[in-house]
Chain A
Amino acid sequence: EIVLTQSPATLSLSPGERATLSCRASQSVSSYLAWYQQKPGQAPRLLIYDASNRATGIPARFSGSGSGTDFTLTISSLEPEDFAVYYCQQRSNWPLSWTFGQGTKVEIK
C-alpha cells in the first residue's frame, strides 16, 4: 500500500502569508494526486486534482505542483477562510486503491 506523509503537521501563519504544504509518497504515484481542504464539521472539499489542476471554483491562490513522489500545495496569500486542515490523496488503479495523508493543519499565528 502506498503511504502518503504530509509535512508539517501544523503550520502557524498569519493572513496574507504564503503557505507551503508538502506530501511525499512511499512510491511513485505519477501525477495521480489530489488535495482537499476540510473545515471543522464539514466534508472535505476538492482543491487540486492530478497534482496541479484546480477544481471548479477554486481560487487562483491555490496551486499544486510535483510528480512522482514529491508534491506541494501552495496558498499564495492566506485568506481568513483558508485556515483549515489539508489532506493529500493518491489513487492507484491496479489494484484500485486510494490513500490519504494524515493532514496538515494551517492555523492562525
Chain B
Amino acid sequence: QVQLVQSGAEVKKPGSSVKVSCKASGGTFSSYAISWVRQAPGQGLEWMGRIIPILGIANYAQKFQGRVTITADKSTSTAYMELSSLRSEDTAVYYCAFSVCGDCYPGYWGQGTLVTVSS
C-alpha cells in the first residue's frame, strides 16, 4: 500500500516561491509517476505536471510552463513541486498523486498542502 506524506501548510508573500514535498513509501514500483494537482478554495481540480523519477523527466501543463518546477530524489522517494512568482490566485490545496506507471492513473494521493498567498 503506497502512502504519500506531504509537507505542511505554507503562507507566502506575492512574488515569492514555494516548494512542497511529497514522500512516498510502501511501494516497490520502479517506473512510477508523481503528479501534482491543485484545488483552489471551493473550486475544481487542476493538473500542474508530473515526473517519472526513474527517468527524471518532468512534463508541465501549459498554463504553468516557466513557473513550476517538479523534481524528484530517487534515493529518498521524495518528489518536489516548486511554484514561483506567486500571486493570490495560487492560493490552493496542492496534492501529489502516485501512479504505478507512466501511463497509469493516480491511485494514491497525498493529504494535500494548503498554500496561502497573501500580503
Chain A residues with CB under 8 Å of chain B are 1, 34, 36, 38, 43-46, 49-50, 55-56, 87, 89, 91, 93, 95-103
Among B10-18, B68-76, B78-86, B107-115, the one that faces the other chain is B107-115
B109/A100 in contact, CB under 8 A: no
In the complex, chain A residues whose CB is within 8 Å of the CB of B61:
97-98
Chain A proximity mask over B89-111: 1 for CB below 8 Å, otherwise 0:
00000010100000111110111
Task: Tell me, yes or no, whether B28 is within 8 Å of chain A by CB.
Answer: no
CA A91 – CA B37 in complex, angstroms? Answer: 13
Across the interface, B45 reaches (CB within 8 A) one of A56, A96, A97, A100, namely: A100
Task: Tally inter-chain residue pairs, CB-CB below 8 A.
Answer: 52
Minimal beta-carbon separation of A34 from chain B (angstroms): 5
In the complex, chain A residues whose CB is within 8 Å of the CB of B97:
43-44
Minimal beta-carbon separation of A93 from chain B (angstroms): 7
Given contacts A43-B112, A102-B44, 4 further A-B contacts (CB under 8 A): A45-B109, A89-B105, A93-B103, A103-B44
In the complex, chain B residues whose CB is within 8 Å of the CB of A95:
59
CA A36 – CA B104 in complex, angstroms? Answer: 14
Task: Tell me, yes or no, whether B119 is within 8 Å of chain A by CB.
Answer: no
B44/A1 in contact, CB under 8 A: no
CA A45 – CA B45 in complex, angstroms? Answer: 12
Q: Would A91 and B46 be within 8 Å (CB), given that A43-B112, A96-B59 are in contact?
A: no
In the complex, chain B residues whose CB is within 8 Å of the CB of A1:
62
A98/B47 in contact, CB under 8 A: yes
